[in-house]
Chain A
Amino acid sequence: MSELNTSTTEKYHNNFLREVEENVEEGEWVKMCMQCGVCSGSCPLGAHWAHPPQELFMMIRAGKREAVLSSDSMWMCTSCYNCVVRCPRKLPITGIMHGLASYANKLGMAPKIQPTRDFSLQFWKNCTRTGRVNELRLTLGLYFNDGLMAGIKKGWAMRNIGLGLLKAGRLNPFELFKGHSCKDQQGIQAMLKKAAEIEARRKHSTH
């Protein structure tokens, strides 16, 4: 268990709903759910979720902390917003899903092998380093995620698209080595640091 996880468990005891309200982005909406089920029925990927949103909300209220935070369900959300437009109580369900995912990640409880989480982490690392997304590195990083052979195979399968991009001037192979960055890299780092500070303060001051 991560240190943060241990300390929050101690703080909230069995009141997981309160923990969600105080720490998860949009978490204060969870108690407004009236369990009608329209979100779950409207989700285009719903059949692939272990726990659709309606069920996650009930699990939160029932204090099923472990099951919720280690679930891969909220990582399945594609942000189509179908549930949000249909929710009769106007809950920002998409936002809650992302909030739960990011909170689980912060506590180190998110499922380790989960493609969405994997991609998000790689994307974040990639773009915050230089202030620009290095598409070639990001793509190759994903290709080689499952090992060397798998990466080569995938690259080979995609070769024609790669060549096409190269010809059209949309792909620069030298990006693999250094890659271009934004002008004020230090500025970007300072901005991100400040944003993290503001976020921490905001969650704190609202409660």
Chain B
Amino acid sequence: MATPIATSQTILVVGGGISGMTAALEAAECGKQVILVEKSPTLGGRTALMYRYFPKLCHPICGLEINLRRLKGNRNVRVLTLAEVSKISGTRGNYAVTLNVAPRYINENCTACGECAKAVTKEIPNPYNYGLNQMKVAYLPHKMAYPLRYVLDPSAIGTADADAARAACKYDAIDLNMQREAVELTVGAVIWATGWKPYDAAKIQPYGYDRYPNVITSLEFERMADLHGPTGGKLLRPSDGKEAKNIAFIQCAGSRDENHLRHCSRICCMASLKQTQYVREAYGADGKSTIYYIDIRAIDRFEDFYLKVQNDPTVSFVKSKVARIAQDGNSGDLTLHGVDTEGYHRYANVHDLVVLAIGMEPAVKGVDIPAEIIADSSGFLESAPGGSIFGAGCASGPLDVNRSVQHATAAALRAIQVVNKSASTEAS
């Protein structure tokens, strides 16, 4: 791989989700040189794994496609996938960065014909469906993948599968000799857009995510609703594959809790309200959604959506944080125990599937970033001391897509100011 040419007027964007793509494009469309570094084999981040977006319930394909079109049409952005930053040193306007680029084993010749995937036999848990199903060791991450190019999993190297894949490829795209490499860069400013990850649901002991198959996270539910997901768009119970028609959504699963995440993850209320509409879409009046909540945080214009869902007779609301869940060993049904706050009634409600509206934490905690930065008490990036490392999107706090995009645009502007300044000092 040719080392990208970079100078102190280049902007490095780390993380290729909606925030990183936006920051990179906004800066590039202002004429700046940008290097966009993504850890996984594809751009898109978590938004590519959503079934629909609130509040309009449109498909994420739409927003991503626009950004991919912008990206293909712009020569100022260099995209590096399977790449991570291992070191950043230097000061504002002049950083030395070391990237660690992992081998894909499939080069630019790939046409995404899929013959390699047909040729290999071994399967591994599919991370794009949160491990709910398996995928082949030669794979395309998902339908929206960019670059649109297959990947050969490192576990296939040295096995018969690797040779089978190479033999099946008509385009000479499989290169089993690719090596991990270190790339050194000089850049003027860094935008950190590494996004979020779900809180570990198993740590919320009373909800039994680690013990009860029919307790799942909101992210898993999102994949289930998706036609390209593990169940082909059907809402099925993991325990017995039966259709789940009486579904509980538990809010603040991990969030607003001193024992787990201190912060409010902000998007989970809207995510659950949205997901009740997946239930309605699947079963019409026969489905039933119940939201257990402390208070619903549907901010500003989202209030409209909340009102709409409140008027949906298939959705009911229980003002209570569920205390614990018990499973019926035979049926796999779940009983939710608690006391509500509107009259202090003790309840024991049975549901066939429980969706935990799981909280968000930063994908890379402040302390793990290989440069000096300041993070808040939850590890979200706040700033860098006197420097020019800017957080964008969910790396800086829990945000929805719209607000991530706004935030990323602001980060691009700040990075542009830094490189403009170093450009003018170099000129004089």
Give the size category of B's interface with A. 20 to 34
Closest partner residue, chain B, to A55 (CB atom): B344
Say yes or no: A41 contacts B320, CB within 8 Å: yes
CB distance from B264 to the nearest CB of A (A): 11
Q: How far is the CA of A42 from the CA of B337 in the complex (A)?
A: 8
Q: How far is the CA of A89 from the CA of B255 in the complex (A)?
A: 11
A-contacting 9-mer, from B38-46, B299-307, B321-329, B417-425: B321-329
- Interface size of A by Cβ–Cβ distance < 8 Å? 20
In the complex with contacts A46-B346, A55-B344, A40-B256 CB distance below 8 A: no
B-contacting 9-mer, from A29-37, A101-109, A176-184, A198-206: A29-37
Say yes or no: B338 contacts A38, CB within 8 Å: yes
B286 / chain A contacts, CB cutoff of 8 Å: none
A54 / chain B contacts, CB cutoff of 8 Å: 339, 341, 344
Q: How far is the CA of A86 from the CA of B341 in the complex (A)?
A: 17
Determine which of B258, B259, B294, B344 lies in contact with A40 in the assembled complex, contact meaning CB atoms within 8 Å. B344
Closest partner residue, chain A, to B320 (CB atom): A37
- Chain A 5-45 against B: per-residue CB contact (8 Å), 1 yes, 0 no? 00000000000000000000000000000111110111000
Q: How far is the CA of A36 from the CA of B339 in the complex (A)?
A: 9
A36 / chain B contacts, CB cutoff of 8 Å: 252, 294, 320-321, 341
A89 / chain B contacts, CB cutoff of 8 Å: 258
B31 / chain A contacts, CB cutoff of 8 Å: none
The number of residue pairs between A and B whose CB atoms lie closer than 8 Å in the complex comes to: 63
Say yes or no: B294 contacts A35, CB within 8 Å: yes
| B340 within 8 Å of A (CB atoms) | yes
In the complex with contacts A37-B338, A37-B340, A47-B346, A42-B294 CB distance below 8 A: no
- Chain B 295-339 against A: per-residue CB contact (8 Å), 1 yes, 0 no? 000000000000000000000000011111000000000000111
CB distance from A75 to the nearest CB of B (A): 18
B324 / chain A contacts, CB cutoff of 8 Å: 41-42
CB distance from A196 to the nearest CB of B (A): 34
Q: How far is the CA of A72 from the CA of B148 in the complex (A)?
A: 68
B257 / chain A contacts, CB cutoff of 8 Å: 88
Say yes or no: B294 contacts A41, CB within 8 Å: no
A38 / chain B contacts, CB cutoff of 8 Å: 321-323, 338
B206 / chain A contacts, CB cutoff of 8 Å: 42, 86
Say yes or no: B339 contacts A37, CB within 8 Å: yes
Say yes or no: A40 contacts B339, CB within 8 Å: yes
B: which residues have CB within 8 A of A?
206, 252, 256-260, 294, 320-324, 337-341, 344, 346
Report the 9 A-B pairs with minimum CB-CB distance, sorted nearest first: A41-B323, A41-B338, A36-B321, A40-B339, A88-B257, A42-B323, A37-B320, A90-B258, A36-B294
A–B complex contacts, Cβ < 8 Å, 13 sampled: A34-B294, A36-B321, A37-B320, A37-B339, A38-B321, A40-B323, A41-B346, A46-B339, A54-B341, A54-B344, A86-B323, A87-B258, A88-B256
